[in-house]
A and B are shown apart, each in its own frame.
Chain A
Amino acid sequence: MSSEYLVEVKDLKQYFPVSTGFMKKTSLKAVDGVSFSIRPGETLGLVGESGCGKTTVGRTILRLYQPTGGEVLFDGRKVTNSNITELRKEMQMVFQDPYSSLDPRMTVEDIIGEPLDVHKLYSTRAERREKILNLMELVGLNAEHARRYAHEFSGGQRQRIGIARALAVDPRFIICDEPVSALDVSIQAQVVNMFEDLQKQLGVAYLFIAHDLLIVRHISDRIAVMYLGKIVEIADADELNDNPQHPYTISLLSAVPIPDPKITRQRKRIILQGDVPSPMHMPTGCAFRSRCRYATEQCARECPSLADRGNGHMVACWNK
């Protein structure tokens, strides 16, 4: 059985228990009812400010954290603890920090070869080596460096090692958790372009997490905007860029630099007032209302849910 979508996330919730003093516990709602779906070969961008729960969404989909609620369907099949090991051949992750996501005691060959070892994807040593060298070539690493240790590489090269490791099992879906935010701007472009090339060659789908709208706009087919554990707007990349609806999206877009000084001077930047509420003491109703110019009484009472405004452009706001 297969559906139109490769990955479907339905009402995913992830609450972390945190202790606030002696014997007192509350839960931190890092992800609170997130739903989206991704077609085969498509890229969904996920943006939001630091701490809004983007990484947690990615890790919960992969069951690195046990979800508090909701479900994930892969290829129409529900992801459970019993089939996750098998599904790890289909879903992979590229991590945020290329410095701590590679074991310093392993050579590049062993790092890239680990998924092959775990899933026993080769029959002879020679085959293993050949696969590893192919992967290294695919991500633009020099095959002579196979015997080196991760600490001998630059940030961009390390991220390529991480990507090669994710590609080793030939997955259909890769979660890219801010894969370029730890890199220098000049190298960011190289790595982003490589992601695009790989998608063209291999047809993988991406969940591309970032806080930089410029990069997400460039690589994504659709974009989801997240604020404090909830998705506030999803739309096609162009639609979101030209016709943003949610006040938070509008303010995010107004902060994106435009490489033309004339437009930039004319443009009005919307600077958000107020502070981000703590995820441990969420306000009632809409989480964004403390910083929203359009906030009304209704926003304080009820939390708006995502509603379709035509063409799959979904917005969670009462007033817009």
Chain B
Amino acid sequence: MADKNNDFKKNPFSLQVDLSRFSPSQFDLATEEEKAQQEVMSESTTFFKDGMRRLKKNPLAMMSIVVLVLIVLACVVGPMVVPYGYEEMISVNGRRDKTAKNLMPFTWSKNEQKAIDEGQKLFPHILGTDEQCRDYFVRILYGTRVSLAVGLFASIIVLIIGLLYGSVAGYAGGRVDLIMMRIVDIIYSLPDMLMVILLSVIMKETLAPLIQNTVLAGLGVNMISLFLVFALLYWVSMARLVRGQILTIKENEYILAARSIGAKPARIIRQHIIPNCLSVIIISTALQVPSAIFTESFLSFLGMGVQAPMPSLGSLANAARSGLQSYPHKLVFPAVVICLIVLSFNLLGDGLRDAFDPKLRR
């Protein structure tokens, strides 16, 4: 019989600690406190706080938030400060001033100059005036308002329709999903700009008698048909996105776990599915805003957007086209504002995606 200790003889090439050199009394049991130290826990943060923290670290996203806030503030406060209306022609001493046409920024017309010399105080034309003697700065402020409103409303419409349609398709699955998604494919395959133009032309004709003498008439037929066009065409990518999200979330075991607990479908959608795809939806809505603004500007530029005298950034740019050689600044200003808005929303959307995508955790 070999010696019992021989079983534990250390192989000379082994890197293991030679336990035969120790006796059991040399070992201590770990105390509870020492065990607790093994459990390293990081500081608790909620998902939202964590995302905001990362968003704050992104200089581009923060800059776009600042730019957007400034633009919105200017749109809201500007028209209150500047004493001109967007459709008001400049008048001096109660009489229309026909000399105040196509003024350069910070200049006065002959009549205004006279009034100032007489001791009157007038508000400067910060960006000059247009060819119909209207203050250009105020028009740009109103145009920005319109463009932002169109962008936000269109995104909200897209969000609501896309969310409902996509979540029904995704949650129901099977045949329902198949049919609903084929409809989306058909809408998706239509050339969208052509459809937008055709639809807004047709809508204009059919809508005009319908909305006469209602509140909607104030908005203008063009605006309403624009919204309708967005509602009819642009929700498809949102619906696809939502459906895809729900399909992947549905596969997770925590949905099965909720079912095994006895949770009803409504509760599962409310408590588990929507919170888990919310960040993706918010982000793509933020990215939808610039695309809607862009489309609105494009349509207004073609003369199919908002109705004169209401300005929008696109129609202002369009109007500036005729006098491009003499007054290039009239095209530059609305173009710069469009660029700023679109760029800021895009950068903000990108920043949101980076901050809230759990897979990009840093």
Contact = CB atoms under 8 A, between A and B. Distances in A.
Chains A and B form a bound pair? yes
Interface of A: 59, 62, 64, 85, 88-89, 92-93, 95-97, 100-106, 114-115, 118-119, 142, 145, 147-149, 152, 154, 157, 162, 165, 169
B253 A95 contact: yes
B44 A103 contact: no
B275 A105 contact: yes
A88 B258 CA distance: 11
A62 to B, nearest CB: 5
B195 interface: no
Contacts of A103: 254, 258, 271-272, 275-276
Closest 9 CB pairs of A and B: A88-B262, A101-B253, A105-B275, A100-B253, A103-B254, A115-B261, A148-B44, A93-B260, A95-B253
Contacts of A92: 260-261
B52 to A, nearest CB: 15
Contacts of A88: 260-262
A114 B253 contact: no
Contact of A64 (B41, B46, B256, B263): B256
Contacts of B260: 62, 64, 88, 92-93
Interface of B: 39, 41-42, 44, 46-47, 252-254, 256-263, 267, 271-272, 275-276, 358
Given A104-B276, A104-B358, A105-B276, A149 B257 contact: no
Which label, helix, strand, loop or mixed, suits the secondary structure of the B interface? helix
Given A103-B272, A103-B276, A114 B258 contact: yes
A62 B256 CA distance: 11
15 contacts: A64-B256, A88-B260, A93-B257, A95-B256, A96-B253, A101-B256, A103-B271, A103-B272, A103-B275, A105-B275, A114-B271, A115-B262, A119-B262, A162-B257, A169-B261
A66 B36 CA distance: 44
Contacts of B46: 149
Contacts of B262: 85, 88-89, 115, 118-119
Contacts of A93: 257, 260
B257 A118 contact: no
Nearest to B256: A64
B38 to A, nearest CB: 10
B19 to A, nearest CB: 15
A95 B257 contact: yes
A106 B258 CA distance: 12
B263 A118 contact: yes
A95 B358 CA distance: 23
Contacts of B252: 100-101
B256 A118 contact: no
A92 B39 CA distance: 28
A59 B261 contact: no
Contacts of A154: 39
Contact of B254 (A89, A101, A149): A101
Nearest to B278: A105
B47 A149 contact: yes
Given A93-B257, A104-B276, 12 more contacts: A62-B260, A96-B253, A101-B252, A101-B254, A101-B256, A101-B257, A103-B271, A114-B258, A118-B261, A118-B263, A149-B46, A152-B42
B267 A118 contact: yes
A114 B262 CA distance: 10
Contacts of A157: 39
Contacts of B254: 100-103
A102 B272 CA distance: 10
